């Protein structure tokens, strides 16, 4: 089997209501999709992440100009070989960021081809599924104005509970006092409900404030405290982790085994959160899981993609072992964005849907999606 073409699709659509997280206003949804075509009639889909503020064209340009020329004619099933070929070829100007997102999207599409060509889901190629369903946690709690939205966010928490979620992650990083007001309101709205909370400040604070926020929430039974400080400073992560009795999570802005080695070796994390669509794809994901496992750190992926990225992430999450085995160990959970998103609901014919807080693992070949080409055209940049 040979790769005959690699196509990229840049999608964008403005948001009816822009929203903020601690790093800026998100005004549009973007997505970079990758299609690997072969001479065997099998094609595979992948996705390069578009973080909230990221334009989709950057990763697409890297795929078109840097990766496609070195992959044409190769056997797409040689996933590990091709990962190294792409990594070595781009190392001197890549390693991280949108370039690694580009490599990730291609790698995911190669695994999709490999699964489809054998008629098996990707989780089977990864060594099998540890779980046949994955618990979803609600991500959302974005701001429509900025500070002072505790009441509205408490209502949002109640509606997530009504929709079946038993775990939710609250976006913070709008000032310590405002953050604490939000958490008071959210906890009050959920009083007596069997709900676990996480918090995520998207590295809005330095070490002192990050610790101050965490200390004030130590009685909240948080499952984790995500991105308390900037991703470039593992020593700051360690300082926060040593000061608090809350598991510290991070890694959505880190890449490959090399990047995670830096975080893990410094004792920065309790929970590593690579995103499949930027950490280096399934191939790098396997490396990172092994590395984290050896350090006693649980991998629980970050998920922020379209229906393609979500489907691929689900295949991966099903195959991740728990780092601390117990009969009733905490299993990895699926980050389920609850804001409206046409690239999730309409882009693929089999969107990832939660029911009563759970997502069933599909058994279709590859990553298990068929892309609606009319949606690709409708939102093409
Ligand atoms: Ca996050």
The number of domains in the chain is 2
> What are the residues whose beta carbon lies below 5 Å from ligand 1 (ion)?
200
pLDDT tens string 260-319: 999 999 999 999 999 999 999 999 999 999 999 999 999 999 999 899 999 999 999 999
Residues 212 and 98 in one domain: no
Asked if residue 259 is part of any domain, the answer here is: yes
CATH number at residue 287: 3.20.20.120
Domain co-membership, 244 together with 257: yes
The answer to the question of residue 338 being in a domain is: yes
For the chain, give the longest Cα–Cα distance: 59
Measured in Å, residue 74 CA sits from the centre of ligand 1 at: 36
* pLDDT the model gives residue 17: 87
- pLDDT > 80? residue 52: no
Q: Does residue 129 belong to any structural domain of this protein? A: yes
Q: Could you count the other beta carbons within 10 Å of the beta carbon of residue 294?
A: 10
Give the distance (Å) from ligand 1 centre to CA of residue 182: 17
Residues 160, 110 within the same domain: no
> Is the per-residue pLDDT at 258 higher than 80?
yes
- Tens-digit pLDDT profile for residues 89-103: 999 999 999 999 999
Does residue 340 surpass a pLDDT of 80?
no
Q: Is residue 337 part of a domain?
A: yes
Q: What confidence category does residue 126 fall into, taking pLDDT thresholds of 50, 70 and 90?
A: very high
CA–CA separation, 168 vs 338, rounded Å?
10
CA distances, 350 to each of 305, 340, 367 (Å): 15, 17, 11
Claim to verify: residue 175 and residue 64 sit in the same structural domain: no
Q: What are phi and psi of 153, to 5 degrees?
A: -70, -30
The domain that holds 98 is classified in CATH as 3.30.390.10
Same domain, residue pair 132 and 261 = yes
From 53-62, 277-286, 316-325, 340-349, the region with the lowest mean pLDDT: 340-349
Mean pLDDT of the chain: 96
Q: What is the pLDDT of residue 79?
A: 98
Catalytic-residue membership of 302: yes
Q: Is residue 367 part of a domain?
A: no
Residue 313 placed within a domain:
yes
| 101 lies in the same domain as 57 | yes
Whether residue 76 is found in the same domain as residue 167: no
Confidence of residue 342 (pLDDT cuts 50, 70, 90): confident
Centroid of ligand 1 to alpha carbon of 237 (angstroms):
15
> 202: which residues sit within 8 A by CB, 6+ positions away?
21, 22, 23, 171, 173, 227
Residue 38 lies in domain? 3-119+372-378
Is 310 within the bounds of a domain?
yes
Q: Which of 123, 302, 341, 355 is catalytic?
A: 302
* Res. 51 pLDDT band, cuts 50 70 90: confident
Q: What pLDDT is stored for residue 255 in this prediction?
A: 98
- Residue 311 Cα to ligand 1 middle (Å): 19
- Residue 231 CA, ligand 1 centroid: distance in Å: 11
- Name the pLDDT band for 345 (thresholds 50, 70, 90): confident
CA 4 / ligand 1 centre spacing (Å): 36
Please indicate, yes or no, whether residues 231 and 329 belong to a single structural domain of this protein: yes
**134 and 216 part of one domain:** yes
Residue 328 covered by a domain: yes
pLDDT at 248 over 90: yes
Q: Are residues 219 and 249 in the same domain?
A: yes
Q: What is the pLDDT of residue 338?
A: 83
Same domain, 324 and 182: yes
Name the one residue in this structure whose structure tokens are 């909240």. Answer: 220
Q: Do 42 and 140 fall into the same domain?
A: no
């Amino acid at each position: 089997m040979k790769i005959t073409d690699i196509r990229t699709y840049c999608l964008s659509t403005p948001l009816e209501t822009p929203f903020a997280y601690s790093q800026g206003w998100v005004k549009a949804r973007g997505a970079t999709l990758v299609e690997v075509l072969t001479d065997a009639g099998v094609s595979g889909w992948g996705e390069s992440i578009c973080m909230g503020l990221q334009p989709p064209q950057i990763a697409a340009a890297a795929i078109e100009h840097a990766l496609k020329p070195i992959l044409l004619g190769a056997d797409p099933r040689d996933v590990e070989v091709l990962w190294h070929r792409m990594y070595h070829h781009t190392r001197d100007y890549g390693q991280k960021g949108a370039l690694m997102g580009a490599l990730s999207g291609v790698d995911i599409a190669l695994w999709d081809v490999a699964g489809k060509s054998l008629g098996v889901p990707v989780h089977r190629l990864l060594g099998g599924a540890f779980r046949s369903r994955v618990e979803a946690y609600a991500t959302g709690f974005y701001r429509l104005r900025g500070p002072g939205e505790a009441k509205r966010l408490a209502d949002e928490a109640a509606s997530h509970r009504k929709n079946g979620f038993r775990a939710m992650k609250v976006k913070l990083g709008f000032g310590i006092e405002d953050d604490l007001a939000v958490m008071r309101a959210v906890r009050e709205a959920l009083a007596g409900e069997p709900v676990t909370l996480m918090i995520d400040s998207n590295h809005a604070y330095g070490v002192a404030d990050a610790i101050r926020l965490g200390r004030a929430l130590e009685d909240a039974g948080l499952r984790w405290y995500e991105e308390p400080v900037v991703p470039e400073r593992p020593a700051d992560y360690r300082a926060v982790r040593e000061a608090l009795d809350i598991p510290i999570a991070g890694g959505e802005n880190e890449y490959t085994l090399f990047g995670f080695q830096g975080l893990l070796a410094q004792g920065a994390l309790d929970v590593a959160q690579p995103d499949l669509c930027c950490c280096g794809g399934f191939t790098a994901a396997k490396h990172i899981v092994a590395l984290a496992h050896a350090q006693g750190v649980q991998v629980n992926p970050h998920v922020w993609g379209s229906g393609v990225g979500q489907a691929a992430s689900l295949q991966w999450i099903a195959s991740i072992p728990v780092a601390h085995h117990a009969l009733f160990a905490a299993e990895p959970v699926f980050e389920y964005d609850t804001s409206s998103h046409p690239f999730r609901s309409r882009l693929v014919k089999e969107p990832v849907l939660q029911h009563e807080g759970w997502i069933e693992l599909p058994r279709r070949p590859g990553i298990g999606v068929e892309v609606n080409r009319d949606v690709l055209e409708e939102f093409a940049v």
